[in-house]
Structure formats: C-alpha cells, structure tokens
Amino acid sequence: MDKKNTTSSSSSGKENLGLDSNGYSQLGAGGELHQIGGGEHPALTTNQGVGLSDNQNSLRANLRGPTLLEDFILREKITHFDHERIPERIVHARATGVHGFFELTASLKQYTTARILTEVGEKTPVFTRISTVVGGAGSIDTPRDVRGFAVKFYTKEGNWDLVGNNIPVFFIQDAIKFPDLVHAVKMEPDRGFPQSSSAHDTFWDFISLTPESMHMVMWIMSDRTLPRSLRMIEGFGVHSFRLINDAGKSTFVKFHWRPKLGLQSTIWDETVKISGADQDFHRRDMFEAIKAGNFPEWEFSVQLFTQEDADRFPFDHLDATKLIPEELVPLKVIGRMVLDRWPNNFFAETEQVAYCPSHVVPGIDFSNDPLLQGRLFSYLDTQLSRLGSPNFHQIPVNAPKCPFSNHQRDGHMQMAQPVGRVAYEPNSLSENSPREMPIKGFHSTVVAETGEKIRIRAESFADHYSQARQFYLSQTTYEQAHIASALVFELSKVEHVHVREAMVGHLLHIDNDLAKRVAAGLAFDKMPDAPKAAAPVQEMEPSPALQIIGKMKDTLIGRTIGILIADGSDGAVIKNIKKAAMDAGANVKIIAPKVGGTKLADGSMLAVDGQLAGTPSVLFDAVAVILSDKGAKALSTESAAIDFVRDAFGHLKALAVDKGGQALLKIANVGQDAGVVDTNDTNAFIAAAKTRQWDREKSIRTLA
C-alpha cells in the first residue's frame, strides 16, 4: 500500500464506491477519484459538493490585495472551523488573565488620530490574556507551545483589541489554511492524544508539506516556547497594521511588547518536570507576583515604515511568516503596560473575555495581510459561537468603558433596555437617537486596488527559508543546540519515516550543520534530498535581537531562590543567604522535609514554605542547600533530596552549599564548577544565580 494513501477496504464494498454506511456519497464533484501523488483520492469539495481547484489561497482583489468577502470557500471553511467546539475556545483555551493599565509615554500624533496613541500620560484600562495554543482548558501551563498575548484596551474612543503571540511570525500565510494547521497540531482525532503537544505525526506531516512554516518552526523549536514565566515573554501584534493621521496619510506599523524583567526560558528536561510538580506553574507565578505587589510590566514599542520603505525590504511585510528585523527598522518605545489586578472571578472575566482583531479605533486600520484579513472575519464568528449571542459585548469584561449606542436590538441574552419607537437610521422621529460621525468616526485607509481577482499567492510570498536561516544563525551556540535537540525529540515521536526525511530535507535549506545534527540524532543512514525551493535562499545579516540568552537581564528581580534545610541547619547562614537574595530582588522560599517547621541548630523553630517531596528545585531559579552533618545524613537516603540537588545542577542553576550541602552533593554525584559556591560567598552566589551555567550543559547532557 502507498504510505500516503490511508484509505482502507471494507467488506460492505460501499467505501469502494465512495459511499458512507448510509449510502451517501463521500466523494463529491461527481464522485470522481483522482490520481494525486501516486494514490487515488476523492475530490476535495465544499459542504455543498462543489469541487475545489485551490485549497491553499483565499480569493484576493489582486496578487497583494485584500481578501474578498465573496470567497464562499474561505467563509464556509473558517465558519465550520470556528464552530467545532462549544463552549471552550478551539485554540488558546488555557489562559491567565489580568487587569492593568496602559500609559502612553511618547505621542504618535504625526502618524495617527487614535487618542490612545497621542495623549501622553493618559492611563487606559486594559485586560490582558496570555494563553497556550494547543491544549484544552484543563491542560498544563508549560508545554512547548506558542503563547497567545492579547490585550484589550478600554479606550475613550471604544475598545481596541491587539491580539497577538509571544512570537512575531506565524505558521501560515493565508487564513484559509488555519483550520488545516490546527487540525494537524491538535490531538489526533482517532485516538484523542497527544494533548497540548506538537510531537506527533499529523502536525509534522502537515508542516513537512508546508514550506512556508519553516520560519515559525525555528521559533517553536527554540527556547521561546519554554518560558520561565509569563512575566518574562515578549508580545507581538504579528501583522502589519496601518496608522492614519488627521490628513488621511497612512503609515504601516508593527506592535511589540517587551517585558521589564527581560526574557528567560527553562531547560526542556526542567519543563517536563515542572509540569509534573505544578501544572499551574505560570498561572500561580503571575498570581503570586500580583498578590505581592510585584506588578509585571512591559514596554510598548512600534516599528513604523512607509510603503516606500516596504518596497525596499528583501521580503514582503504582508507575509505573516516574516518579521522586520530591528536592525532594519528600529523599535520606538511609546508606552508601558502594568498588570496590577487579578480578576475577581476567573470564569466571568478570563474565560468570557472576547478578543477580535477587527476591534480597532479611529486612526488604526488594517493591511492586506491575507492571514489578518481572514482573522477579521474568524474571531467575531468564533465569539458568536462560543458565547452564544451577538450581545457578548454586554458582558462586563467585554463592554467598552466609554459610552456606546446604536440601533442594534434584541438577540439572545439582551441586557440593555432601549426605549422609544426608533431603531433605525436615518430617522426624523427622534431628536436624540445615535447618528453617524462623518468627521470623527472611523475611516478606512483610502487605497486604490486594481487588478484581476485571483486565488494565488504573490511571488513576494515565495521565500520560505531565508528568515528561518537568519533566525537560526542569530542564536547563540547553546540555543542552536537546543533547537537541534528539540527537532530530534519531536521528530523521534513521528512514526512515519518519510515525514522525518522530508523535514530534514527542509532543514538543508536553513543550515547544513543543523540538518546534519538532526539527521544524526534520528540515525539516518544518508541525508535526504532537499526539496526544490520556490525562491532562492537569501543570506541575511544575523539579528542578535532574536536571541534569548543574549538579551537576558542581569537581575534576580522576579526570580525565586529555594533554600533547602533540615533539622540542625545553621540559622545565621540561612538568614545571610535569604537577605542577599532578597536584597537582589528575588523571592525566597524555605524548603524542608516537613512543612510544619524545622528546628535549627540553636533550638529555634523556623517556619517553612514548602515540603521537600512536593517542592522540587525545578520551581526555583537557583538553590541554596544548608544542612548540618546530621541533616545531610538524614537526607542522603531521601530520593527527593537527591533529585533536588541533582536537578538543580542538571538544569544549569547556581547552587550555594555549606559543609552539609557539599556532603549531599557528593552523595548525589553532583559535580563542581563555577556555579557551585560556598554559602559564605553570597556575592558569588548572587552573581551566578542571575543566569544559567551554560558551559555546564555540554558536560551533563547529550545535545544534537
């Protein structure tokens, strides 16, 4: 049997005729079977049986023009997809939501009339929802996954929803492929697993046949998808948008969020163990930070460029699989966002909040990005399905904080009580009914669109490898090793050899050494052939801004230090380590075999924050081990204590140890390096705790 043809035979014979068990046709388009890729396949059709000539591109006004509303194929496909799950979100179901405010620090008045971007010093309420993509609402916080980063601004002119991710690019170029992407990455429908994981056949089969995804693959295989904290991720609007000034002039813009705490990720093995120790690790981290008054903060930046600038780019900015390097268009910081209030009720706010990219205010408009164009339709349609009513905007978390009025009436769950006989416009029967605002109302950008309406990608969208190569070559050697190892891990979960081979073939276009490392990790006898590239691979200058390690801040603010103690530990040493860590801005938690408290060497009792068996070192950024000889001996037969120090060392963390701590390290067969310091040298410990001991990794772990 052809490995790509999964059609099975049936004793009834109906399947051989293209009929289901009830005798209805499954083939469509005349019930024809077509020879495609060496096997017979039924024709791909709409739900009305209309055969599709192109399932890869939505219908545009011209090659780079806007998507047309008449594209019934796109609308049917997206609509069906949006309504597949009730009431949980199809994607981004697992989330953390927080209230806060946005403050503008630099005006963009010359570029836009949007008051939120022109009134310096104004504080605008926001609700931010950060989410994983693949898993359901009951999945874990820490899988290798993209994080959604959505912000609802309650502006004076209406709500503005900036709905993005913690990665500036996406898998696909056209919204018509979104259902296929999500169907591929979600748990496989015949078995219901894996949950919240991309490491399976259907995802990588789709990706191997979708070269435009290669840039995004580099990002998701990087440490960007293993964040240490939601407070330590970036956010991106992904698409190009437009700003419009009072003269009607349009300027393109891309939006960026930069965390004040800097970027930090975890190690893959650490991530896996965190998910077992605390499935709510990220949500709990955010909750505890806000409860303690350590409010997360992000800088808000923009990249501004004209059509003339865009024409000189070596890529098409309307292609959502591309980013604009900061070296090409620098970021301009214009504001900050502070998250300072946890929701009163998770369901009422975090679960019911509804974001739509189509929610913009006057002075902000859309580009012709075909992925964005599809999202403008899809998100509203999804909210109508998930929340069950066109009145979802009346739910408090969704309602504008400025006055709003129109002639829309009734509908399921209508909470307003309009008065009067008039529910239309124009009218002459009411002196105070809502009227349009020709001057101050929303205006779309005036753009001339000409050409033949067509269902095809522009040639400027054909380069699928250049920015993927740029991203990989921009990483530190440690991060490159992590990307290669992640690819080996994911592809090792793929059963079909031809899919693994196809992916390594794509990697040859990105970097030959990367392809060889992954091929070796998969035990290939020979390298597969690289597929023909649709466009030549360009050599782009590396962009250090794409790293994590190179951008980590030299700080312990927002980080947590764990101190392991037992009966007989030295209270003075504990106090010194705790003071040094807290003076550096870290949180400190005391861990002991029993949660009730521990008797110190001087006979006093010290309250502890966590029991050893339930509070492993994976929950901390660095650890100190302060033990008496007796305490070390007692813990030497405790596997949780052995794992505590062994994992801390294996996850490249700094360790401060006294004599008893050294004894435990020796029993656990933990080595010595610059990141293992004496508890008396608090300065050395604090310096080492601010980063990972990256040079340690090659001596303790085999990487691709």
State the Rg of the chain over Cα: 28
CA pair distance 575, 568, nearest whole angstrom: 14
SS in 3 state form for 288-349? HHHHCCCCCEEEEEEEEECHHHHHHCCCCCCCCCCCCCCCCCCCEEEEEEEEEECCCCHHHH
Helix (H, G, I), strand (E, B) or coil at 513: helix
Where does residue 585 fall: left (phi above 0), alpha (psi -120 to 50 degrees), or beta otherwise? left
CA angle in degrees (0–180, nearest 5) for 274-263-243: 125
**Beta strand pairing call for 95-104 and 123-132:** antiparallel
- Residue in 200, 170, 167 with CA at minimum distance from that of residue 186: 200
CB atoms within 10 A of CB 51: 14
User: What's the token pair of residue 563?
Assistant: 């101190």
The two structure tokens encoding residue 30: 């005349």
Instruction: Output phi, psi for 175, to 5 deg.
Output: -60, -20
Number of neighbours of residue 11 by Cβ within 10 angstroms: 6
Q: Which residues of 360-374 are buried (b: 16+ CB within 10 A; e: fewer)?
A: bbbbbbbbbbbbbbb
Query: Which is it for strands 297-305 and 250-259: parallel, antiparallel or unpaired?
Result: antiparallel
Residues annotated as part of the active site: 92, 165
516 pairs with which residues across the strands? none
Look at the alpha carbons of 676, 680, 684, 690 in this order and tell me if their dihedral is positive or negative. positive
* Cβ 276 vs Cβ 619: under 8 Å: no
- Parallel, antiparallel or unpaired: strands 610-611 and 587-592: parallel
